[in-house]
A and B are shown apart, each in its own frame.
Chain A
Amino acid sequence: GNSVTQMEGPVTLSEEAFLTINCTYTATGYPSLFWYVQYPGEGLQLLLKATKADDKGSNKGFEATYRKETTSFHLEKGSVQVSDSAVYFCALSTGFAQGGSEKLVFGKGTKLTVNP
């Protein structure tokens, strides 16, 4: 079945440090890939997405590239801020057209804390 594996947290960084959160996936067909972010006390919100191989999603200084050959979608940011402290979820969807499901499959989440 479809699954997402992301690096265990928590991750603690100093402000302006480089961030990488690893995400790998297993899926039939050609999934769409997502990063969602959950700030304290809030629901999840979409951070970025990519729908086909070699696409790069980007938003708020975060980037992730859809790598079909390594089945990965790692999240990166060159210089994190205190306001980036949150839980980050990697997710995939394959859709009915590819014999999959309309559901999103989420990873377990990685908690990021950025200290001033």
Chain B
Amino acid sequence: DAGVIQSPRHEVTEMGQEVTLRCKPISGHDYLFWYRQTMMRGLELLIYFNNNVPIDDSGMPEDRFSAKMPNASFSTLKIQPSEPRDSAVYFCASSRLAGADTQYFGPGTRLTVL
């Protein structure tokens, strides 16, 4: 299995621009999670999906952030407009079940907003 795939691996953009991060979960996994990691705040869960349906988006910081999962093999996290404080590493993870099941993380997208 190829594991969780994220693209792009690095993104540099200017403040005010729209940014779209992409994720392909492991086939057969019903859960997909989006996390953000910064030095100051550590690892934060932004949103997660079960069977393509958003279950909990309480971690999404502002209305500038949105996430979709149009099908079982693809999800996007969009930031519009981007701000310098959005600079972070964004991880996507997937799991077959929830709770005690293992989450498999992608390599992350390092976002820099100038």
Contact = CB atoms under 8 A, between A and B. Distances in A.
Interface residues of A, number: 23
Interface in A79-116: 89, 93-97, 100-104, 106, 108-109
Interface stretch (B11-19, B68-76, B102-110): B102-110
Given A102-B48, A103-B45, A106-B42, A46 B55 contact: no
B42 A44 contact: no
Contacts of B55: 102
B42 to A, nearest CB: 5
Central interface residue in A44, A93, A94, A109, by most chain B CB within 10 Å: A44
B2 interface: no
Contacts of B93: 43-44
User: In the complex, which range does the number of interface residues on chain B fall in?
Assistant: 20 to 34
Contacts of B4: 43
A38 to B, nearest CB: 8
B102 A102 contact: no
B99 A42 contact: no
Contacts of B105: 43-45
Contact of B100 (A42, A95, A101): A95
Interface of A: 32, 41-46, 49, 51, 89, 93-97, 100-104, 106, 108-109
